[in-house]
Amino acid sequence: MKCPGCGAAIQFEDPKKPGYIPREVYERRLEEGREILCQRCFRMKHYGKLEPVEFNWDFKNQLKSYLGGFDVVVWVIDIFDFEGTYREDIAEILKGKRVIYAINKVDLLPRVVTVKEIKEWVKKRIRVHNPDDIRIVSAEKSFGLSSLVKYLSLLTDKALVVGVTNVGKSSLMNKICTHENTISPFPGTTLGILRRKVREANLYLYDTPGIMTNDRILDLLDSECQKRVLPREELSRKTFKPDNGRTIFMGGLCRFDIHFETEKNPIFLLFSSKEVTFHETKRERADELMRNRLGDLLIPPCSKTEFENFKWKREIFTLKEGEELAVAGLGWMSVRRGPFTVEVTVPDNVKLVVREALV
């Protein structure tokens, strides 16, 4: 028997795999003669929330198969984690489509950064057909949403919505759409996608499952810890003016060892969620802290974690004023006085990028 929503075979064993429904729920619905949707489709239809399941397909083929029927794609990107959420592999797949970039969570940035500045910064990072295709929004504060809807309505009456997990795609959809949710099975895919009507507009948005990544610090945390360290309000920031050979932790999974040959100490700021610990120490103490204090003094992780569980890498960068070093899924360092050398220690697959300053 197949789920009429997504077409996946109904199964009672694994909640993380497509087609799952608890056996007792299945039996009750059968008895009552009601529609039998898998748990994921049921929640999609009634709560408008797409839940990830364990995918064993590669997302590229899945995304490609969704694209066929659409000329316009809305790509939701998180300004707090631009490097982790704007991805070349997705850009490559979307080539040839009109992509509207919804740059979300701008409420997290310090107020001194204007919308115009954010847009200019993004414009340098993404090559767009029309600069207005970059939309600066905040789903949380309902900022820029009606203008996004207006813009989309002029282009099309249906658009596909894509994005990696945790960029705020569901939050954004919930703000602009009605509760009228239809699951559309898509040919060639194992999962259906959700069709949602935009309020007060002749426009339908088709929500796709959040694309999973594996190179953000966030990806290494359990879902409780993710919720805790995902920033909800303006980012916390702290200024450092370290002496030579000092170490600064941004949580327990990212460590900066600082070296410089200049007369004056370097100055930089760290930006991250309020829940992330910033901690400065002597280089000699750093190894011991990493071994014993992850998840306790140093958060994230959120619970006591063995140092040995992670495979680490070290990368060395020389940074100067006006540059930032972004750590995907965690935050960034923004240089006010340099140059200096920073040796970064993070789990092996975490993406590190030096960029022009956003803040």
At 170, which amino acid appears?
Answer: S
Tell me which of 62, 85, 166, 190 binds ligand GDP, using CB under 6 A.
166
Per-residue buried b or exposed e for 122-155, using 16+ beta carbons within 10 Å of the residue's own CB = beebbeeeeeebbbbbbbbeebbbeebbeebeee
Structure tokens at 170: 């569901």
274 binds ligand GDP (CB under 6 A): no
Of 169 and 293, the one with the shorter C-beta distance to ligand GDP is 169
171 binds ligand GDP (CB under 6 A): yes
Of 21 and 77, the one with the shorter C-beta distance to ligand GDP is 77
93 binds ligand GDP (CB under 6 A): no
136 binds ligand GDP (CB under 6 A): no
Tell me which of 170, 181, 273, 345 binds ligand GDP, using CB under 6 A.
170
- Of 303, 298, 287, the C-alpha closest to 253 is 298
87 binds ligand GDP (CB under 6 A): no
- Of 46, 35, 27, 347, the C-alpha closest to 194 is 46
169 binds ligand GDP (CB under 6 A): yes
99-107, 189-197, 262-270, 340-348 -> range binding ligand GDP (CB under 6 A): 99-107
Tell me which of 108, 299, 319, 328 binds ligand GDP, using CB under 6 A.
108
Site string for ligand GDP, 224-253 (x = CB under 6 A): ------x-x---------------------
CB of 95 to ligand GDP, least distance (A): 23
Of 84 and 242, the one with the shorter C-beta distance to ligand GDP is 84
Of 41 and 342, the one with the shorter C-beta distance to ligand GDP is 41
Query: Which residue in the shown chain puts its C-beta closest to ligand GDP?
Result: 168
CB of 28 to ligand GDP, least distance (A): 29
CA distance 257 to 291: 16
CA distance 44 to 220: 26
Structure tokens at 234: 């303006």
Of 36 and 230, the one with the shorter C-beta distance to ligand GDP is 230
- Of 188, 192, 179, 187, the C-alpha closest to 3 is 192
Edge-to-edge strands of the sheet including 255-259?
278-282, 246-250, 255-259, 340-347, 312-319
- Of 232, 276, 288, the C-alpha closest to 250 is 276
155 to each of 59, 130, 148, 149, 354, how far by Cα in Å?
27, 13, 11, 10, 35
19-27, 119-127, 168-176, 347-355 -> range binding ligand GDP (CB under 6 A): 168-176
**CA 246, 249, 252 angle in degrees (round to 5)?**
140
Task: Catalog residues that contact ligand GDP under the rule CB under 6 A.
Answer: 104-105, 107-108, 138-140, 163, 165-171, 210, 230, 232
